Structure 1
């Protein structure tokens, strides 16, 4: 394996289909994009792990949707990890990369640095939001925090809201590759059953709190195919998912060679933020000059910082708000 071929699969999402099983999926590898997301902030390790998992889920789900603009995942909890937010922007043109950004809000005083990261969320909800752009109504879907990981929450969302059996197998952590500084890598596989026409047979789901699971949606041969593919996925190893030594194409053959795996064009993913001075000004446009005056610093400027990328804006207060003085 050459260095060039290793790098070629970093920061990509590879779509595939298992023709013998009626199952589609994605393989994601995040390297530089995840490292860039986390280096914007000095998060504790437990928060870094939650952001890494959410970013990986976002890349897998975002690429699986016919997206014209933006997919957002939000995890809100009553525990010390209050909010994990990620955005996935679809490519603006064919051949262009998708973009991901993410940030977290947490209560440092309550955070248990030695606990399982998922336990720090507590009671709350997992939300998927899709915005297809101007002229389109945004979509929002919610499911309660359940299971033992954010992957479990995402699986529950698809079963409950979309009635599509979905499985995620993820791995992430700080990598110690020879010749490179310590940095974050992540990899994962998403399996998703093709939509079925049978509907949900059960009035109440068999999952935690009565939530739906794949067993409530699939039956007969479809259930057998789904269970077989999941058993094969269970054999995947962490280093196979994270890479970089095993290409995703080789991994799919190793796992699913009897299922007839067929791959499509890989989607590159990059770090990207949509913040701008214009958007800050638009946000401020609802305020009066009296309100703007309260926001003005001793230096005579209004400042704003992007939570996602850390961009810092300093603006003349006279040019802000609905009473702004227009430049001559």
Structure 2
């Protein structure tokens, strides 16, 4: 493999199971996905780091849920970064890649010298699952907690799903020789099997009275969970994001005694579902009077996709629920 050549396991999620511990997991490596997401905006580096972390979480969680359509993660906060939104679209055909998109809304004047997570203030972390037409969308919300977005996701699974969950993530700019500087990310997700996770019997020991992973495991389950977490703690940054260690080799190094069993690797790509038809549908609830307030001096209505940067220019006469109806004079 030459420098700059795409690595076989870039932009993939590898599911695995630790049979001896009743724990399932995922290993994710993102490269081109992050490039597709981040090149759409000129984010400050701290905001880029948050978007990279959120995209990595989305890849890991999205592959865990048996989706027919879409998983979304959202952070809403009172901090400098007001919102981070990501979507994971499950493949519709076996063997096709899943698609991920993400963007952030932030106040540049409030970005501080602190860590990326310092830019996120009080707020909430949300998981939304939409299985498509004919199903009821699901939404779970937990307060922002812990020292990072991965800690927020762990708190969500403990609180809303009562599933002990752990993430170990790494992300940053790659500066390999002969290649342009770009973001890479890698991580491991561990999660106790649902049928092995009892409901919490004691109090909640997490931040702000939230449940923590150890509140919902006991006996042998707790011992297995602690052992797997101790092993995960030995992972090094370059093992998570570097080009030299395949995900399968990483699992053998970390969990050899736990008998890791791997499943088919899922490719992921940057992808957006925006279209002119979707824009028209979203504007179909407005009257001609409403649309007049959105019309530019040039006489058009414009819409930009925050995820992919696509721009749509539309004739207001063809929009809204009154489109195609005769005007008062014509009538």
Q: Which category describes the TM-score, using the shorter chain as reference length?
A: over 0.9
**Runs ≥4 residues deviating over 3 A:** 1-6
Structure 2 CA distance for partners of 1:170 and 1:304, relative to 1, 3 Å: same
Partner residue of 1:320? 319
CA distance change for structure 1 residues 197 and 295 in 2, over 3 Å: closer, same or farther? closer
Q: Distance in 2 between matches of 1:161 and 1:293?
A: 43
Report the secondary structure of 1:8's partner residue.
coil
Which whole-Å CA distance do the structure 2 matches of 1:108 and 1:301 have between them?
Answer: 30
Q: Secondary structure at the match of 1:221?
A: helix
2:35 is aligned to 35
Instruction: Report the 3-state secondary structure (helix = DSSP H, G, I; strand = E; otherwise coil) of the residue aligned with 1:180.
Output: coil
Counterparts in 2 of 1:264 and 1:119: CA distance versus 1, 3 Å: same
Measured in 2, the distance between the counterparts of 1:147 and 1:71 equals: 23
Cα-Cα RMSD: 1.6
8 Å contact 2:171–2:185 — kept in the other structure? yes
**1:1-328 maps to which residues of 2 (within 5 A)?**
7-112=7-112, 114-195=113-194, 196=196, 198-202=198-202, 204-325=203-324
1:238-279 CA deviation, whole Å, 9 max, x = no partner?
110002111000100000001101110000000010110001
- CA displacement, residues 118-145 of structure 1 (integer Å, 9 cap, x when unaligned): 1111110000000000000000001110
Partners of 1:242 and 1:156 lie apart in 2 by 24
TM-score (norm 2): 0.95
1:4–1:180: structure 2 CA closer, same or farther, 3 Å change rule? closer
CA distance in 2, matches of 1:319, 1:6: 45
Task: For 1:231 and 1:199, locate their aligned partners in 2 and report how far apart those are by CA, in whole Å.
Answer: 23
SS at match of 1:226: helix
Q: Structure 1 residues 197 and 177 mapped into 2: Cα distance closer, same or farther (>3 Å)?
A: closer
CA contact (8 A) 2:4 2:179 kept: no
- TM-score where L is the length of structure 1: 0.96
Runs of at least 5 residues in structure 2 that lack an aligned partner in the other structure: 326-331
